[in-house]
């Protein structure tokens, strides 16, 4: 059974169709990338899957369960966690605090337990601290762990965003343009990092523009244009696909990155 299945998903804004009858499945352990020109509906698709906006038609099924109608925080609870395009972080906290706070989902104590600092709450804090430390190490944030997030040099912001998402122990991690604005070295680092996350058993969905990175890292690629599916397949299939090349014709050549 596929980990995540999207069936006939549609999103209309007034007269505009942002996402038009999209269906696909993502297997557990895959790195699945969604690409397409600007405005193709990629981010909207992400928002639909993670319930930050409601579809006008279609379903989202995660591990066999229909999560379409669930509110966003419950979707996260089910294990589908997203990052944000405009690297969203908690600015007024330090890096460590950011990651610890994000562990909320994994707490076993109740609100009252938090209040009275029950044994469960204390054990939660211990676990969170350890988990936060290991996440910070994996993502290479150790050097800046006590920095205020708003002072973070730009290069670390993305890692922090991912760290926050990882604290929620996702089974499916949705990364929104993790490679944007990166030079080749940084891209390499992020490629390794993403692979490392996948190796930990987390399935990854990417939305991305940087074709080089996409070709390197993806198991399968979904191409969107004007909200509709254009092609779905492995990197080599996509590279040789005519409709894909057509969809990108008339746009900047370096979007293809080939």
Partner 1 sequence: MSSGMQGNRGAVQASNYGLWKSLVLAVCLVIYLIVLPAYFAESRYVLRVITTASVLSFISLGVWLTFTIGRINIGQGAFALIGGYTTAILSTKLGVSFWVCLPLSGLVAGLTGIIFGLGILRLKGVYFAMITLSLTEAVRLGFLSGGDFTGGAPGIPNIPLPDELKLFGITLVPDFGEVDTHIAFYYLGAVLLILGLAVIWRISSSRLGWIFESLQQDEELSRSVGINVARYRVMAYAICCFYGGLGGAFFTVSQQSIYPSVFGVPDSLFFILYCFLGGLAFVAGPIVGAFLLFILFELLHELQQYQQLIYSVIMISIMLWLPNGLLSLRLPAASWRSRNIRD
Residues that bind partner 1 (CB under 8 A): 50, 52, 72-74, 76-77, 81-84, 88-94, 96-97, 100-102, 104-105, 107, 109, 111, 114-117, 121, 124-125, 145-146, 164-165, 167-168
Q: Least distance (Å) from partner 1 to the CB of residue 21?
A: 26
Q: How far apart are CA 256 and CA 211, in angstroms?
A: 6
Q: Least distance (Å) from partner 1 to the CB of residue 204?
A: 16
Closer of 91 and 216 to partner 1 (Cβ): 91
Closer of 20 and 50 to partner 1 (Cβ): 50
Q: Which strands sit side by side in the sheet containing 57-62, from one edge to the other?
A: 16-26, 4-13, 57-62, 65-66
Closer of 62 and 248 to partner 1 (Cβ): 62
Closer of 200 and 252 to partner 1 (Cβ): 200
Q: Least distance (Å) from partner 1 to the CB of residue 64?
A: 20
Say how many C-beta atoms besides its own lie within 10 A of residue 219's C-beta.
Answer: 16
- Ranges of beta strands (E only) in 36-88 are 57-62, 65-66, 80-82
Record the tokens describing residue 110, joined without a space: 């109740």
Q: Is residue 127 exposed (0-12), middle (13-18) or buried (19+ Cβ within 10 Å)?
A: middle
């Amino acid at each position: 059974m596929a980990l995540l299945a999207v069936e006939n998903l549609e999103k209309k804004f007034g007269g505009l169709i942002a996402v038009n009858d999209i269906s696909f499945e993502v297997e557990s352990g895959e790195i699945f990338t969604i690409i397409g020109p600007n405005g193709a509906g990629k981010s909207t698709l992400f928002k639909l899957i993670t319930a930050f906006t409601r579809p006008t038609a279609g379903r989202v099924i995660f591990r066999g369960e229909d999560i379409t109608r669930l509110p966003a925080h419950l979707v996260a609870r089910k294990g589908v966690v997203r990052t944000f395009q405009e690297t969203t972080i908690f600015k007024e906290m330090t890096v460590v605090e950011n990651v610890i706070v994000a562990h909320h989902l994994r707490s076993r104590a109740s609100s009252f337990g938090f209040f009275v600092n029950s044994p469960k709450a204390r054990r939660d804090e211990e676990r969170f601290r350890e988990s936060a430390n290991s996440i910070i190490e994996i993502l290479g944030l150790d050097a800046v762990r006590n920095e205020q997030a708003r002072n973070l040099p730009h290069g670390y912001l993305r890692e922090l965003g991912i760290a926050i998402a990882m604290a929620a122990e996702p089974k499916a991690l949705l990364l929104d343009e993790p490679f944007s604005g990166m030079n080749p070295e940084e891209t390499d680092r992020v490629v390794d990092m993403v692979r490392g996350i996948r190796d930990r058993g987390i399935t990854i969905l990417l939305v991305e523009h940087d074709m080089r990175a996409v070709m390197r890292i993806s198991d399968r690629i979904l191409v969107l244009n004007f909200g509709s599916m254009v092609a779905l397949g492995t990197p080599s299939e996509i590279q040789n696909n005519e409709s894909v090349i057509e969809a990108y014709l008339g746009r900047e050549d370096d979007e293809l990155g080939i």
